[in-house]
């Protein structure tokens, strides 16, 4: 059975996601999202349905294994103060240059009317072999606007950088950044979040990988700190706590002491993300989870 057909085996699930907006502290949110973690829309507690989506081995060539429609919604908080909302989702199966890919996204919305933050990070990941094919950023932070795209060619082993031209209404070669060689099975930061969920995570283990598409930021690593039961708005979870490090990204730098809490079950939901900003710890806490078109669970 093909990858697309397997992914579209459904378990019917009611989605209860509503949108909400509020005033947030923009400086804190901008710090947290300086490189990667973010989305709009707020969920209202969909039921959690187990799904067998994890590969047997955490090999670099692992095929894609998460269902279209899977969505994790988060509140972004600094201490007790809510700053915004975020959503990590698996969107749909697409085709790029004849290759089947799945589009994933990490989005953010926050800030008061005079300093809105609306960021959208999208990653297109090869369904047959876990590697990024395209990575796109659309950033709006107050007056700042940025829209760029990276095309990753796994056959040639190179990536190219492009920037959006408002005048031409198309992507053009970037004036600010060159492309170049990249590692085998290269990934971007959004793909990294999904890859971490596929790893065998035993306390004390550390995985080091030369897989970030910009070679100067390698190695990236995942260190398993232990197990912990935590409570977030979506409920109480038994989790595995990991320290993910990507030197290229502000929020995943080692000196920021980033932490990710992943549910200790078959779903491997990202339950919480925390990193240290200059003003203190900022966290994403799970408020809602939608399994999407989850694979049917075989008794």
- Residue spans per domain, the chain: 3-290
Paired tokens of 118: 């609306």
Compute how many other C-beta atoms are within 10 angstroms of the C-beta atom of residue 95: 9
Residue 94 has a pLDDT of: 95
Torsion angle defined by CA atoms of residues 224, 152, 103 and 128, in that order, rounded to the nearest 10 degrees = -80
Paired tokens of 229: 């039961």
Residue 120 has a pLDDT of: 93
Residue 56 has a pLDDT of: 33
**Contact (Cβ atoms closer than 8 angstroms) between residue 28 and residue 279:** yes
Residue 111 has a pLDDT of: 65
Omega prior to 299 cis, within 30 of 0: no
pTM: 0.77
Residue 252 has a pLDDT of: 86
What are the average pLDDT values for consecutive 10-residue runs of the chain, which has 299 residues?
37 29 36 37 28 34 82 87 90 93 93 79 94 94 88 96 82 85 95 94 93 94 96 97 90 89 96 84 93 59
**Contact (Cβ atoms closer than 8 angstroms) between residue 32 and residue 76:** yes
Distance CA 264, CA 133 (A): 29
């Amino acid at each position: 059975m093909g990858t697309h057909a397997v992914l579209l085996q459904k378990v019917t699930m009611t989605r209860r996601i509503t949108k909400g907006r509020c005033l947030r502290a923009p400086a804190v949110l901008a710090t947290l999202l300086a490189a990667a973690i973010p989305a709009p829309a707020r969920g209202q507690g969909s039921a959690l349905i187990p799904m067998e989506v994890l590969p047997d081995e955490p090999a670099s060539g692992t095929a894609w294994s998460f269902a279209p429609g899977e969505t994790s919604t988060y509140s972004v908080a600094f201490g007790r103060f809510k700053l915004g909302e975020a959503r990590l989702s698996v969107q749909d199966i697409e085709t790029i240059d004849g290759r089947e890919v799945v589009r994933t996204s990490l989005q953010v919305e926050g800030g008061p009317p005079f300093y809105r933050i609306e960021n959208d990070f999208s990653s297109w990941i090869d369904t047959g072999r876990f590697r990024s094919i395209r990575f796109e950023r659309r950033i709006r932070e107050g007056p700042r606007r940025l829209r760029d795209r990276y095309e990753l060619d796994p056959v040639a082993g190179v990536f190219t950088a492009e920037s959006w031209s408002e005048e031409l209404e198309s992507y053009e070669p970037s004036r600010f950044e060159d492309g170049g060689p990249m590692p085998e099975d290269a990934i971007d930061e959004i793909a990294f979040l999904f890859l971490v969920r596929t790893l065998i995570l035993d306390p004390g283990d550390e995985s080091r990988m030369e897989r970030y598409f910009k070679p100067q930021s390698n190695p990236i690593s995942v260190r398993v700190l232990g197990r912990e039961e935590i409570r977030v708005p979506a409920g109480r979870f038994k989790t595995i706590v990991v320290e993910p490090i990507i030197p290229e990204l502000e929020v995943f730098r080692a000196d920021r002491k980033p932490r990710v809490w992943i549910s200790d079950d078959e779903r491997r939901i990202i339950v919480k993300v925390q990193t240290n900003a200059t003003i203190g710890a900022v966290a994403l806490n799970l408020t809602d989870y939608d399994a999407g078109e989850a694979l049917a669970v075989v008794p």
